[in-house]
Structures are given as structure tokens and as C-alpha cells.
Amino acid sequence: MKRFLFILPFFLFSCYTTAFFQSPKILDKGKVEIGVGMTETGGDLYEIFGQMRIGIGKKSDIGFRVFGKPPIGPEKGGFVGIYGDSKEQLTDGPFYVSYVLGLSYTYPFALAAYPTIAVGTENFYGAARVIIIGGKGGIGGIVPGLTFGAFIGEKFFIVPEFGILALIPKEELQVYPNLYFSLGVSIRP
């Protein structure tokens, strides 16, 4: 818990991003993982992202992501955001369970928190999470979801991921389910 409190100030600049894109196994201390990818959420909605994870302790690592959508397509709406998280591995392998707490900031202004439980092996994972969104202009809500993915490779990975998220706006009692698919590459030098 002390590690979360120590690194929490680094995440007060965070965002709303769809992809989970990480194994429940933490990186060894001092190890780095770098990745890029794209998430398709249907129609004109997608995001591109670049991220880095760093092992910081025996059972913890941290991650940073820059993501966004260029203002192209029929609606021309674009956004850019930054994200950070801290992951604590709760069990030893070969089946891992981890708790992840992420925070993000997206422009136009939106803040989001991402409490997540991730389970699986080093190469195959599932995650149950809730994205809690707040922002200017009355936007906000919660987005519970399930994510499934894989790291295919050894030091250079192809990372397919899919999931379902259900937007529940704070002003409505309506649920808007949405499937998404992400594909990326990741390197652990």
C-alpha cells in the first residue's frame, strides 16, 4: 500500500483509454517493456497509443501511456490523453493475480480512474475493471468491463486483445454495451 501512496502523485495527470494491454505478471525490477497499438471500438471511434512499463520492485511495476485519436473521419472529433498505473502482483506463478490502479487525463477535459483485477499467466490474461469517468460539461459515468488478451512471442510480442465495456452515464439509468478489439506490438529488451 505504501508503494501506491508513494507513486500516486505521478498519476494525477491521467486519461480515458480503452485497451488494458498488460499481463498480470509484473516486470522484474529494472526491466522495461515498450509497446504501441490501436484499439477499434466501432465506427469512427478508435484510439492509437504508445506505452511503457517499468519493474520497480519485487511485486510491483508501473506503466505510462500516451493515447489519442486524430481528428479524422466523418465526425472529425479528436482527443489526446495520458495515463499512468501501478500494478501489485498478489500471487506467485504460474497463475498470477494482480491489482492495478490507473488514472488518466484526456483533453478535452476528462479524468478517469481504473481499478482493475487481472488474472492469468505471463502470456494470457483476463481483467475485470471499472472505469470511473468525470469531466467538464457534466460528462461522466462508470464503465464496467471484461478484457481478454495474449502476449504472443518471447522478447518481441504481438498483442491481440478484445473485450466488452458497458458505459453507464451518470445522468441515465441506461447501459450502452460496446465490444472493442486492440492489436499492438510490445518489446521487452
Query: What does pTM read for this prediction?
Result: 0.84
Task: Return the CATH number at 136.
Answer: 2.40.160
- For residue 171, give its domain range: 2-187
Give the pLDDT score at 171.
76
List Cα–Cα distances, 122 to 25, 29, 131, 132, 151, in angstroms.
5, 16, 24, 27, 8
How many domains does the structure of the chain reveal?
Answer: 1
- Is the distance from CB of 46 to CB of 67 less than 8 angstroms? no
- Is the distance from CB of 158 to CB of 185 less than 8 angstroms? yes
Residue numbers in the chain where pLDDT is lower than 50: 1-15
Residue 53 C-alpha cell reads as 512499463
Give the pLDDT score at 118.
98
Give the pLDDT score at 137.
61
Give the pLDDT score at 70.
84
H helix and E strand count, the chain: 1, 11
Give the pLDDT score at 71.
79
Give the pLDDT score at 91.
97
